[in-house]
Chains A and B, each alone.
Chain A
Amino acid sequence: MLIRWAAIGVVIAGIVGAFAYTGGWFSPHRLTPARFIDTFEKVNGIHPGFRRNHAKGLCISGYFDSNGQGVRLSRASVFKVGRVAVIGRFSLAGGQPYAADGPAAVRGLGLRFEPREGEEWRTAMIDLPVFAVRTPEGFYEQLLASKIEPATGKPDPAKMTAFLAAHPETVRAIGIIKAKPFSSGFANATFSGLNAFRFWNADGVSTPVRWSMVPVDAFAPEEPAGEQNKNYLFDALIARVHRGPVQWHLIVTLGQPGDPTDDATLPWPDTREHIDVGTLTIDNVEDEAHGRCRDINFDPLVLPWGIAPSDDPLLSARSAVYSQSFTRRAGETKQPSAVTPTEIRQ
């Protein structure tokens, strides 16, 4: 009888144990989405209601005119000839919602394409040609190494040196990023999806791709940091949109066999075929409290049928961590954003 009782105990403990193991209770040091966001909060402080990264932002809306060139690559309805409504958000990287605009900050563009028929597409891009890290772990270590030390007001140089020593791919990527000057603002910046994806068309043919939004506005190099208004980048964008619609071409780069799809730090050769699949027009800006972007998670894996993730390990991790950030801020009381309705009306 005792053996039978023991058997019951072992079976039940086994199931409960397997459940707890699967949930990560036995591995407290595992890098989970929650731990990622905890670390963002540790590095930046907690700013309730705001995104844990790319916290400072502005809502935009407009439309995408597809020219039909994408149809041969992807069956997604967004690429059929016609106009698709778009909402989006311009942002600055970092977890400080009231940070001053400056030349050091990476700029972000999140977009949500909403075709009347067919599946929606979300993408979150930044104004860098390649990403600085290859894996979620690399991102996490970089985040810790970039933490501002309260004593100096700067990151600890020893930590950054140690991080770079362990990540030669980041050193190489920074070299590529710094090789070209940044643009002077949001409206004339090129935003890249960075991660590779797969397009597949009506015949089932799959193509590895990367995409970028290439501005119509002429390039002008970034001004050095000066005595600007702390929202000068956003204010310039608002003024630009008030003068008239701002446009970008959606350029799809086709990968060839052997081009890395699992490493966002590596560029593809310039000789790869680029296809202009349509034009994005932004004709409206709104602050976060009044626009529709604040409560949208620009999850890069909200994809239409016809676009699929690649084997890039960053993609699933981005989706998981964005979701965690969204869940936390969703339940928090919202504070006014740095870019105010008053600035938008000016």
Chain B
Amino acid sequence: MGTQQFTLFSRILHWTMAAMILAMLFIGVAMVASLADYHLLISIHRPLGIAILVLVIIRYVNRRLNPPPPFLADMSSEERFVAHASEMMMYAMMLVLPLIGWGMLSAARYPIVLYGPLYLPPILPHSPMLYAVLRKTHTIVAYLFFATFIAHFSAVLFHSLILRDHLIDRMVPWKVSAESTPARP
């Protein structure tokens, strides 16, 4: 049988956020190790994180309105569970990681600058201890996110190059018609 695709809007959201999140993880890890570029990188990190927070909410609503196409018929129930769980975990991290960032800046009483005079209000009371805990959590969740991304990407490569089952067709940005997709040998 052929492959059904995600809706175009879902695919645009997926690839936009993929690029943003990967950039965000690299900026984060570069920022904490940098002296010269620290200010520039953190000035990008804050608004990009909030943009991801907004987009993940839109994306979750969209997912409820436009449910994903079914998994390939020959995927085992274990495979489906792992694929679904890793997706849900990534959704959770897309939501939680920016919120922790916003919360930790609030607890430290740093101004939460998006751009220029555009600020977000603090969402937590001023507490250095709370900041310290959230700051550590931010790093741990970010590494966890990177590891989950690597697992997700490895699985896609495995499906595409080893199984060659055209799983990726569900998400490619261009149109793939269900009829033209060759069935798995």
Minimum CB distance partner of B126 in chain A? A295
**10 additional contacts, CB 8 Å, given A33-B33, A34-B32, A295-B109?**
A5-B162, A22-B26, A118-B117, A119-B111, A119-B117, A316-B39, A317-B38, A320-B39, A331-B128, A331-B136
Name the interface residues of B22-52: CB closer than 8 Å to any CB of A.
25-26, 29-30, 32-40, 42
Chain B residues within CB distance 8 Å of chain A: 25-26, 29-30, 32-40, 42, 108-111, 113, 116-117, 119, 126, 128-129, 131-133, 135-136, 146, 150, 153-154, 157-158, 161-162
Determine the distance from Cα of A12 to Cα of B157 in the docked complex, in whole angstroms.
9
> Is A313 located at the chain interface by the 8 A CB criterion?
yes
What's the minimum C-beta distance from A146 to chain B, rounded to whole angstroms? 20
What's the minimum C-beta distance from A190 to chain B, rounded to whole angstroms? 27
For B110, list chain A residues within 8 Å (CB). 297, 299, 302
For B158, list chain A residues within 8 Å (CB). 8
Could you list some 26 contacts between A and B, CB below 8 A?
A5-B162, A8-B161, A8-B162, A12-B150, A19-B29, A23-B30, A23-B32, A30-B33, A33-B34, A119-B111, A136-B36, A295-B126, A296-B109, A305-B116, A313-B36, A316-B35, A316-B39, A317-B36, A320-B38, A321-B35, A327-B131, A327-B132, A331-B128, A331-B131, A331-B132, A331-B136
A22–B135 contact, CB under 8 A? no
Among A295, A297, A319, residue most surrounded by chain B Cβ atoms (within 10 Å): A295
For B111, list chain A residues within 8 Å (CB). 119-120, 302
What's the minimum C-beta distance from B127 to chain A, rounded to whole angstroms? 8
Chain A residues within CB distance 8 Å of chain B: 1, 4-5, 7-8, 11-12, 15-16, 18-19, 22-24, 30-34, 36, 118-120, 136, 295-297, 299, 301-302, 305, 309, 313, 315-317, 319-321, 323, 326-327, 329-331
Determine the distance from Cα of A4 to Cα of B177 in the docked complex, in whole angstroms.
26
How many contacting A-B pairs (Cβ < 8 A)?
A: 108
What's the minimum C-beta distance from A329 to chain B, rounded to whole angstroms? 7
What's the minimum C-beta distance from B149 to chain A, rounded to whole angstroms? 9
Among B33, B109, B157, residue most surrounded by chain A Cβ atoms (within 10 Å): B33
B154–A12 contact, CB under 8 A? yes
Minimum CB distance partner of B35 in chain A? A317
Minimum CB distance partner of B39 in chain A? A316
A32–B33 contact, CB under 8 A? yes
For B29, list chain A residues within 8 Å (CB). 19, 22-23
Determine the distance from Cα of A228 to Cα of B34 in the docked complex, in whole angstroms.
42
For A323, list chain B residues within 8 Å (CB). 38
A327–B126 contact, CB under 8 A? no
B154–A24 contact, CB under 8 A? no
A316–B109 contact, CB under 8 A? no
Given contacts A33-B35, A119-B111, A297-B110, contact A16 B162 (CB under 8 A): no
A7–B39 contact, CB under 8 A? no
Determine the distance from Cα of A1 to Cα of B39 in the docked complex, in whole angstroms.
46
Determine the distance from Cα of A228 to Cα of B2 in the docked complex, in whole angstroms.
88
Minimum CB distance partner of B162 in chain A? A4
Given contacts A4-B162, A8-B157, A33-B32, contact A295 B128 (CB under 8 A): yes
Kindly list the 5 A-B residue pairs having the minimum CB-CB distance in the complex, ordered from nearest.
A331-B132, A320-B38, A330-B128, A24-B33, A23-B29
